Amino acid sequence: MKKVFSLIDCNNFYVSCERLFQPALNGKPVVVLSNNDGCIVARSNEAKALGIPMGAPLFQYKDLIARHNVQVFSSNYALYGDLSCRVMDVLRQMEADVEVYSIDEAFMTLPINKVWDRDRYATELRERVRKHVGIPVSIGIAATKTLAKIANRIAKKDAQGVFDLVDNIQTDSILGKIEVNDVWGIGARSTEKLHRRGIYTALDLKRADETWIRKTLTVVGARTVIELNGIPCIALQNAPACPKSIVTSRTFGHPVTELDHLREAVISYASIAAEKLRKQGVAAETVNVFITTGSFDQQYYSNNQTITLPRATSSTPEIITAALHCLKSLYRPGFKYRKGGIMLTGIVKGYKQLDLFPRSPAKDDKLLMAGLDKINRKWGRNTIQYGMTETGAKPWTMQQTLKSPAYTTKWQELAVVKSACL
């Protein structure tokens, strides 16, 4: 059966998550900040109307924020991640073919049927997500994934949350109003090349010479042109592709000088990275640790080290051991470290040939890791954590002075509902 693509995109997702548990924020300007409360990474429509740009440093807009009583929140990734999973679960209940594209976007395929009303179905799907999760979404429908992206932009801005571009006689007119840099897959460098060729809109790109596009923008650009012409060539990915690397890094909330504090940070990052491996059903062959001072510090230092593991693993203890070995050789006293992180590479999935003469006996701690993950999922991250980490204030943790509670992932921070006695 022939099918079309739909893109479901959560509207102003981070802001919508904050509003879900604080309805008084509806209709008011709201912004969400990046790590360490540095830049604005999400804005409500009301905040956009005030002229607050995406990615703007918070300090540059403090006066405007105070003048218009803009509500400001630190990023609450635990909350956003949990609500994202709930949205995706609702989508999977409606359709079998769902590709989770990002934390707030998913592609789905819908059958073509003359009797079936796609717009009505999409409206029902939108209402179901709102009712079951409380997050507003927009849905764009088209013959290809690239066109579905464009249809979603229209659904979000000009339509009532749903826009169908399949067999739409105004498709070329619509594409003529879309700037080429807003087309999915066209980055800044590609935009410069296209502009030099006189290609400024999605319609220009649709009509561009495919041979020149393939030569200039490679096969990726050629696929985009084909998709703009309504011919699908980017398939739906039901299962996530095996990642090439997994990185966990943070800018420290305060400069770190002590090795013990760096050890705590590396243990925390290694634990998070290992959990990501297990969640995706993969293992890593190499561990890379890096630490750096500030770029403009008088005493500048930046370095990294990589260790190849005896075998590919997703075991937290093994990854921590390798990471701490790297850190021991990287650390230099007398510096103010401002950022650190861990990168896992050599990602493999499924069976891998083992060494005939291993340097050390393999430890099977799959059950232990499964139990650890299950407890931390139920009771919140770091309910159980590895030793050598102290309780209390940690200078390396991010500044999140304006973070809302983890309403859905920590028992201690559940929303409290009070009812008046009759």
> Per-residue pLDDT tens for 133-168?
999 999 999 999 999 999 999 998 876 899 999 988
**Rounded average pLDDT over 177-182:** 95
- What residue ranges of the chain are covered by domains with CATH 3.30.1490.100? 245-379
- The span from the CA of 47 to the CA of 42, in Å, is 9
- What residue ranges of the chain are covered by domains with CATH 3.30.70.270? 1-168
The answer on pLDDT for 389 being more than 60 is no
Amino acid at 56: A
Question: In the predicted model, what is the mean pLDDT of the chain?
Answer: 88
**Rounded average pLDDT over 69-74:** 95
Q: What are phi and psi of 39, to 5 degrees?
A: -125, 160
pLDDT band at 306 (very low <50, low <70, confident <90, very high): very high
- The span from the CA of 262 to the CA of 283, in Å, is 25
Least confident window among 31-45, 123-137, 294-308, 365-379 = 365-379
Give the pLDDT of residue 167.
Answer: 84
Tell me the pLDDT tens digit for each residue of 337-388.
Answer: 999 999 999 888 865 555 655 555 556 677 888 887 787 777 766 667 776 5
**Rounded average pLDDT over 94-111:** 91
Cα 363 versus chain centre, distance: 33
Give the pLDDT of residue 349.
Answer: 81
**Rounded average pLDDT over 261-276:** 91
CB 33 within 8 A of CB 21: no
More confident residue, 3 or 225: 225
Q: Give domain 180-239's CATH architecture.
A: Orthogonal Bundle (1.10)
Give the pLDDT of residue 205.
Answer: 96
Give the pLDDT of residue 115.
Answer: 64
162 CB neighbour count, 10 Å cutoff: 24
Looking at the DSSP assignment, which residues form a beta bridge with residue 42?
32
**Rounded average pLDDT over 20-39:** 92
Give the pLDDT of residue 370.
Answer: 81
Tell me the pLDDT tens digit for each residue of 243-257.
Answer: 788 999 888 888 899
- The span from the CA of 144 to the CA of 229, in Å, is 9
CATH class of 1-168: alpha beta
Give the pLDDT of residue 405.
Answer: 87
pLDDT band at 195 (very low <50, low <70, confident <90, very high): very high
**Rounded average pLDDT over 268-281:** 90
pLDDT band at 198 (very low <50, low <70, confident <90, very high): very high
Give the pLDDT of residue 371.
Answer: 80
Contacts of 359 (CB under 8 A, 6+ apart): 310
- What residue ranges of the chain are covered by domains with CATH 1.10.150? 180-239
For 288-301, give one letter per residue: b (16+ CB within 10 A) or e: bbbbbbbeeeeeee
**Rounded average pLDDT over 397-419:** 78
Cα 265 versus chain centre, distance: 22
**Rounded average pLDDT over 211-217:** 93
Topology, domain 245-379: Dna Ligase; domain 1 (3.30.1490)
Least confident window among 55-59, 70-74, 235-239, 387-391 = 387-391
The answer on pLDDT for 128 being more than 90 is yes
Give the pLDDT of residue 364.
Answer: 65
